[in-house]
Amino acid sequence: MIDTAPAPARPTSAEIAAMRRRYLIMATSVFVLDLAITLIFTAVAGLWMNLWRTAGIGIVLLLGVNWLAARELFRPVRRYLDGEIAFEDVQRRLTQLPLLTAQRVFLLAFLVTAFRLSTPWWAGERVALPIPTIADFITVCVVLTIFYFTYTYFVVSDYLAGLCDFIFERYGQNLGLFFGRYSTKLWIALVVISIGPLAAIVVDLFSYQGERQQMEILVDVSSAVVGVAMTAFFISRSLLRPVRRLSDAMKKVASGDLSQRIAVTSNDEVGELTGQFNNMIEGLRERERIRETFGRYVDETVAATILRREGAGVLSGETRDATILFTDIAGFTTIAEVLPPDQLVAALNEYLETVLAPIRAHGGVVNTFIGDGLFASFNMPLACEGHATAAVRAALDIQRAIGSRTFGDVGMAFATRIGISTGGVIGGSVGAGQRMSFTLLGDTVNLAARLEELNKHHGTSILVSESTRASCNGAFAFSPLGNVAVRGRSEPVAIFSIDHLERGLPS
Q: Specify the amino acid at residue 7.
A: A
CATH superfamily of 313-502: Nucleotide cyclase, GGDEF domain (3.30.70.1230)
Residue 4 pLDDT > 50: no
Q: What is the pLDDT of residues 143-176, one digit of tens each?
A: 889 889 999 999 999 999 889 889 988 888 888 8
Residue ranges covered by each domain of the chain = 13-241, 313-502
The dihedral of CA 154, 157, 161, 163: what is its sign? positive
Bigger pLDDT: 256 or 138? 138
pLDDT for position 294: 46
Using an 8 Å Cβ cutoff, are 200 and 114 in contact? Answer: no
Mean residue pLDDT across the chain:
82
Upper half-sphere CA count for residue 426 (Cβ side, 13 Å): 8
Taking the mean position of all CA atoms in its chain, how far away is CA 502?
49
Q: Which of 191-200, 408-417, 459-468 has the highest mean pLDDT?
A: 459-468
What's the rounded mean pLDDT across residues 230-253? 83
Angle at 329 between CA 328 and CA 330, to 5 degrees: 120
**d(C-alpha 302, C-alpha 360), whole Å:** 13
> What are the percentages of helix, strand and coil residues in the chain, rounded to 5?
65, 15, 20
Angstrom CA distances, 162 to 67, 98, 102, 125, 429, stand at 20, 13, 18, 49, 51
Helix (H, G, I), strand (E, B) or coil at 4: coil
pTM: 0.60
Q: What secondary structure, in 3-state letters, does 328-383 show?
A: EECCHHHHHHHCCHHHHHHHHHHHHHHHHHHHHHCCEEEEEEECCEEEEEECCCCC
Q: What is the pLDDT of residues 314-335, one digit of tens each?
A: 555 688 999 999 999 888 888 8
Q: Specify the amino acid at residue 276.
A: Q
Q: What is the pLDDT of residues 176-199, one digit of tens each?
A: 887 778 788 888 888 878 787 788
- Run of H or E including 77: helix 66-81
What's the rounded mean pLDDT across residues 354-373? 87
Percent residues over pLDDT 70 in the chain? 87
**Sorting pLDDT into bands at 50, 70 and 90, what band is 300?**
low
Helix (H, G, I), strand (E, B) or coil at 457: helix
Taking the mean position of all CA atoms in its chain, how far away is CA 440?
38
**d(C-alpha 393, C-alpha 376), whole Å:** 13
DSSP secondary structure code for residue 258 in this structure: T
Angstrom CA distances, 51 to 21, 34, 62, 224, stand at 29, 12, 16, 20
Residue 362 pLDDT > 90: yes
Nearest to 228 by CA among 304, 292, 150: 150
DSSP string, 124-170: GGGS-PPPPPHHHHHHHHHHHHHHHHHHHHHHHHHHHHHHHHHHHHH
Angle at 155 between CA 150 and CA 158, to 5 degrees: 125
Residue 336 pLDDT > 60: yes
**d(C-alpha 137, C-alpha 127), whole Å:** 17
When computed from its CA atoms, the radius of gyration of the chain, rounded to whole angstroms, is: 39
Helix (H, G, I), strand (E, B) or coil at 419: strand
Using an 8 Å Cβ cutoff, are 197 and 40 in contact? Answer: no
Q: What is the pLDDT of residues 59-115, one digit of tens each?
A: 999 999 999 999 999 999 999 999 899 989 999 999 999 999 999 999 999 999 888
Using an 8 Å Cβ cutoff, are 409 and 344 in contact? Answer: no
**Sorting pLDDT into bands at 50, 70 and 90, what band is 118?**
confident
**Sorting pLDDT into bands at 50, 70 and 90, what band is 297?**
very low
Residues 6+ apart with CB under 8 A from 120: 127, 129, 130, 131, 132
Nearest to 414 by CA among 343, 342, 347, 345: 347
Nearest to 479 by CA among 506, 461, 505: 461
**Sorting pLDDT into bands at 50, 70 and 90, what band is 247?**
confident
The dihedral of CA 332, 338, 339, 340: what is its sign? positive
Using an 8 Å Cβ cutoff, are 91 and 146 in contact? Answer: no
